[in-house]
Amino acid sequence: MNPTTDITIVATVPMLSVDISKTSPHTTSANTAITSVRPPGNAFISTFLIKLPFILFLFGSRANKNPGIPIVNILTKEICAGSSGYVNIKTADNTAKSNEKIFFPLSNAVRYKNLSSQKISMSKHFVKAVKLLRSYIKENNIEVLFGIGMTMNIVAVTSTIGLKTKFISCDHTNSIVDIDTTMKKLQRYVGARLADKIITLTTADRNNYIKKYKINPKRVDYIYNWINSIDVEKKYNLDSKKLITVGRFHKQKGYDYLSKVAIKVLSRYPDWQWDIYGSGDEQIKQDLITELDKGGILSRVHFKGNVKGTDNIYPDHAIYVMTSRYEGLPLVLLEAKQYGLPIISFNCPTGPAEIVLDEENGYLIENFDINQMSQKIIELIENNELRLGFSQNAMLDTDKFNKKRITERWIELIEKMAGE
């Protein structure tokens, strides 16, 4: 069976004048619904007046779990707070189902509808997909189109030919590691050459785009993911003897490296344990279990599965360890910092070097150096004062991940692109 591809669109209502210090919905005309919304928890802005153009978010396959959904929430629920359209052109592959629910919660202000009631294969029905998207863009006067991820770059670029609509390609992985399929490489190349703007997650990836694709630096910018605020200050438990890793079972996450590090460390410190949170490829998990068993430490590595809520994951751990081969911008490191955890991570492309301050709140390890990583973990285990110092420095250099600041950058981007 040939795989098909999802096109999922989230469109926010335009030219909104929003005061999010109020909570009552109201309308100003038959064509524009405006809702004033107080963000969940404490509002990070007391009064924020803003105008937005018609914008559209286009997701690729597996949109039900796309990490770009929180960006849509921020722009709808917490800022523009208007009615939105959610359009689904059906399904990702043989395992995707048309009735799959969105993994990330969406604002109640977002409405859903299907643009097509039939499955559309991107390889077989490319022209049909372009026609559907182009019609939607024209009928709804879309001024700015966001492509979240690489998979829809070609469709988006083709659908906007001859229109005034600006296309912004958002790369939420990285362009440095050469692990992509031929089609994904083509999608990224088309975005790099033909999108009106490219947004990366890190400065390192932005610089790589400029160098790799030889494009004008003004066409590429980066916008970090943000840290969600936590209600109370988290106290670091210096008595904890638990290491922690959070991540799905996938080759990217380097669990083959983790097994070697765990054997070196836990064999030396029998009173310590290692907690792993996540699910995924069962074969990778089984291979990890086999190696840990051979090393004689399986009983002290605890597989926690998927757990919701950071308060149920990070507290009462001593050190966060990441063994990934590559990342985009790993949110788990930002979360670990919020809970005061010293971090030891491979300095993989991209993200760790923009989150961890080496030798101030963690250690950046030369990629895949098992011995160095093991040595640095042991160093922290044996030195409570050093571990506590790293914990106290955990939140250094995190202002750049401030939610309000990042939200403002998205809004500035939209206003600038709509005004060109």
Q: List beta partners, residue 10.
A: 57, 86
Strands (E), 171-291: 197-200, 220-222, 242-246, 273-277
pLDDT at 157 over 80: yes
Helix or strand (DSSP H, E) at 148 = strand 144-148
Token pair belonging to 349: 């492309």
pLDDT at 29 over 60: no
The pLDDT score that the predictor gives to residue 139 is 85
Q: Which amino acid is at 287?
A: D
pLDDT at 227: 86
- 9, 100 in Cβ contact below 8 A? no
CB 54 within 8 A of CB 143: yes
Place of tokens 């930002």: 334
Contact 73, 45 (CB under 8 A): no
* Superfamily, domain 242-399: Glycogen Phosphorylase B; (3.40.50.2000)
- How confident is residue 232, by pLDDT bands cut at 50, 70 and 90? low
Residue 364: phi and psi, rounded to 5, are -95, 120
Mean pLDDT, residues 311-320: 96
The pLDDT of residue 25 is 32
- Which tokens in the block code for residue 310? 């950071």
Confidence of residue 24 (pLDDT cuts 50, 70, 90): very low
Residue 354 backbone dihedrals phi, psi, to 5 degrees: -100, 0
C-beta separation of 92 from 6 below 8 A: yes
The pLDDT of residue 26 is 30
Q: What is the DSSP letter of 182?
A: H
Query: What would the pLDDT profile of 41-81 be if each residue is shown by its tens digit?
Result: 333 322 333 445 676 777 654 444 555 555 666 665 544 44
Classify the phi-psi angles of 148: left when phi > 0, otherwise alpha if psi is within -120 to 50, otherwise beta. beta
Q: Residue 25: in which H helix or E strand, if any?
A: strand 25-27
Radius of gyration for the alpha carbons in the chain, expressed in angstroms and rounded = 23
Choice between 53 and 168, residue whose per-residue pLDDT is larger? 168
**Proportion of the chain above pLDDT 70, given as a percent:** 70
Count other Cβ atoms within 10 Å, centred on residue 270. Answer: 9
From residue 254, how far is each of 96, 345, 377, 420 by CA, in Å?
26, 11, 17, 44
| Cα distance between residue 407 and residue 82, in whole Å | 16
Q: Is the pTM of this model over 0.85?
A: no
Distance CA 56, CA 85 (A): 9
Instruction: Enter the CATH code of domain 8-226+402-419.
Output: 3.40.50.2000
pLDDT of residue 36 exceeding 50, the answer is: no
Within 8 A by CB and 6+ apart from 277, the residues are: 244, 245, 246, 247, 304, 305, 306, 307, 313
Written as six digits, the tokens of 238 are 């210096």
> For 330-358, how does the pLDDT look when each residue is reduced to its tens digit (9 = 90+)?
999 999 999 999 999 999 999 999 999 99
How would you classify the pairing of strands 197-200 and 319-322? Answer: unpaired
Q: What pLDDT score was predicted for residue 74?
A: 60
Does the pLDDT of residue 103 top 80, yes or no? no
- Across-strand partners of 344? 321, 363
DSSP structure string for 306-350: ---SGGGTSTT-SEEEE--S--SS-HHHHHHHHTT--EEEE--SS
Average of per-residue pLDDT values in the chain: 79
Q: What is the largest CA-CA distance in the chain?
A: 70
Nearest to 374 by CA among 214, 262, 235, 206: 262
| Higher per-residue pLDDT: 38 or 73 | 73
What is the residue extent of each domain of the chain? 8-226+402-419, 242-399
| Dist CA 33 CA 82 (whole Å) | 6
pLDDT digits (tens, 9 = 90+) for 363-374: 999 999 999 999
Rounded CA gap, 373 and 265, in Å?
Answer: 10
Buried b (16+ CB within 10 A) or exposed e, 199-223: bbbbebbbbbbbeebeeeeebbbbb
Q: How many CB atoms lie within 10 A of CB 271?
A: 8
Residue 152 to residue 170: CA distance in whole angstroms: 10
With vertex at residue 222, the alpha carbon angle to CA 333 and CA 66, rounded to the nearest 5 degrees, is 60
- The strand order across the sheet containing 197-200 reads 110-113, 84-88, 8-12, 55-59, 144-148, 166-170, 197-200, 220-222
